[in-house]
C-alpha cells in the first residue's frame, strides 16, 4: 500500500473514533436523545449496550489510525 493509502486509513480511523467518542460523551449528558441518530439502537442491552458498542468502535478506529500512522512512517524511512 502506498503512502496515500496509509494516510487515508489514518484519516478514516480518526474520524470514526471522533464520531463515536463524541456520541458516547453526548449520550452521558443527554440520555433522552438517540445516539448517532438511532444507528446503534439495535444493540442489545439498551443504553449500556450502545455505550459499550460505540466505545469499542471508537477504540477500533483509534487502533486503525495509529497502525496506519506507524506504517506510513515505516514506509517513509525506507
Which H/E stretch holds residue 60? Answer: helix 46-77
CB 58 within 8 A of CB 16: yes
Phi first, then psi: give them for residue 31, nearest 5 degrees: -70, -15
Residue 77 cell numbers, joined: 524511512
In this prediction, residue 23 carries a pLDDT of 92
Nearest to 51 by CA among 12, 22, 15: 22
In this prediction, residue 44 carries a pLDDT of 94
* Residue 73 pLDDT > 70: yes
Which residue ranges make up each domain of the chain?
9-77
Q: Which pTM value belongs to this model?
A: 0.84
At 55, is the pLDDT very low, low, confident or very high (cuts 50, 70, 90)?
A: very high
Average pLDDT, the chain: 89
Amino acid at each position: 500500500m502506498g503512502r496515500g493509502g496509509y494516510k487515508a486509513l489514518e484519516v478514516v480511523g480518526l474520524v470514526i473514533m471522533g464520531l463515536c467518542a463524541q456520541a458516547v460523551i453526548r449520550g452521558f449528558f443527554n440520555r433522552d436523545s438517540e445516539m448517532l441518530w438511532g444507528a446503534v439502537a439495535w444493540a442489545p442491552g439498551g443504553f449500556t449496550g450502545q455505550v459499550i458498542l460505540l466505545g469499542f468502535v471508537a477504540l477500533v478506529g483509534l487502533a486503525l489510525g495509529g497502525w496506519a500512522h506507524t506504517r506510513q512512517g515505516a514506509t517513509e524511512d525506507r
